[in-house]
Amino acid sequence: MQLANKVAIVTGAAGGIGRASALALAKAGAKLVVTDLEQEQAESTASLIRDDGGDAIALAADAGVARDAERTVTTAVDHYGALHIVYNNAGVALIGQDGFSPDIDPEVWDRVIRINLSSVFYLCHYAIPHMAKAGGGSIVNAASSMATLPLGGMDAYAASKGGVAMLTKSLSAGCGKHGVRVNAIGPGYVDTPMNAVIWQSEELKAGFARGHATGLQTAEEIAELVVFLASDASRSLTGAMITCDRGWTATKRPDGLPI
């Protein structure tokens, strides 16, 4: 039990990578506060953890609202007495509304930046003093391969994830003295509800799979990386953006075409 007696928050934990990560962190011994806009689904993530012998509570919270981030941290500390691990997972890809900048509605831009990037700042802002008080800990932020290789036509999403990568690096410098490490992960394309919107045919999905060196990723394999980054096994890492994309970026030329 690598994470025994550790308390963790996972945002956007109603499904996809967030749920898989919450389950994996709990399996490693952490006590969980799982949050999402989708309360019922978040409750069911917490139930799955408890059914497996773990400890978890669910909270309806909008990751893109500072007051909700504060409430999330307060809930974790009040309920479990401390906070050690944060996985900033909540995110949106507004396919069909995001695009190239001349075409994006400014409200859509604001929403993507708020949920994907400002959310990371909000939770870190409220969590870090408590993590410092607990003797240190680890923050993991969901960036994306799009932080370094935009797909084209998703300016808001790409900018938000590039922002997450840089916030991670910048923040890590200030967190060292508190014993708090901060790292970001950059998956390629993972088989989750987020991509179900893009993969409207099996053919399209197979095309995306071929775009990786070793096929599509699973939420569970990303979750294993989150556990590693949350644990002391990754103590050398802080300020890192971990490319974990099964070669999605490695197999593209700078112009985006396959090698």
Ligand X SMILES: NC(=O)c1ccc[n+]([C@@H]2O[C@H](COP(=O)([O-])OP(=O)(O)OC[C@H]3O[C@@H](n4cnc5c(N)ncnc54)[C@H](O)[C@@H]3O)[C@@H](O)[C@H]2O)c1
Task: Give the bridge partners for 241, in sequence order.
Answer: 184
Residue 11 found at the interface with ligand X (CB under 6 A):
yes
Structure tokens at 251: 């197999």
Find the shortest distance in angstroms from Cβ 133 to ligand X. 25
Residue 256 found at the interface with ligand X (CB under 6 A):
no
Among 2, 27, 38, 75, binds ligand X (CB under 6 A): 38
Reference 185, options 132, 138, 130; nearest CA is 138
Stretch that binds ligand X, among 23-31, 47-55, 185-193, 224-232 (CB under 6 A): 185-193
Residue 43 found at the interface with ligand X (CB under 6 A):
no
Residue 17 found at the interface with ligand X (CB under 6 A):
yes
Residue 21 found at the interface with ligand X (CB under 6 A):
no
Catalytic residue among 87, 122, 126, 157: 157
Instruction: Confirm whether 157 is a catalytic residue.
Output: yes
Strands (E), the chain: 7-10, 31-36, 56-60, 85-88, 137-142, 180-187, 241-244
Find the shortest distance in angstroms from Cβ 177 to ligand X. 28
Stretch that binds ligand X, among 22-30, 72-80, 87-95, 166-174 (CB under 6 A): 87-95
Residue 90 found at the interface with ligand X (CB under 6 A):
yes
SS3 content of the chain, % helix, strand, coil (to 5): 50, 15, 35
SS3 5: coil
DSSP letter for each residue of 103-155: GS-HHHHHHHHIIIIIHHHHHHHHHHHHHHHTT-EEEEEE--GGGTS--SS-H
Residue 194 found at the interface with ligand X (CB under 6 A):
yes
Residue 63 found at the interface with ligand X (CB under 6 A):
yes
SS3 159: helix
Find the shortest distance in angstroms from Cβ 135 to ligand X. 28
CA angle (67, 72, 74) in 5-degree steps: 95
Distance separating alpha carbons of residues 211 and 14, to the nearest angstrom: 28
Residue 91 found at the interface with ligand X (CB under 6 A):
yes
Reference 149, options 238, 259, 253; nearest CA is 253
Site residue total, ligand X (CB under 6 A): 27
Residue 37 found at the interface with ligand X (CB under 6 A):
yes
Distance separating alpha carbons of residues 229 and 187, to the nearest angstrom: 14
Among 8, 28, 59, 62, binds ligand X (CB under 6 A): 62
Residue 18 found at the interface with ligand X (CB under 6 A):
yes
> Residue 258, class by beta-carbon neighbours within 10 Å (0-12 exposed, 13-18 middle, 19+ buried)?
exposed
Among 80, 122, 189, 228, binds ligand X (CB under 6 A): 189
Residues forming the site for ligand X (CB under 6 A): 11-12, 14-18, 36-38, 62-64, 89-92, 115, 142, 144, 187, 189-190, 192-195
For the annotated catalytic residues, the residue numbers are: 157
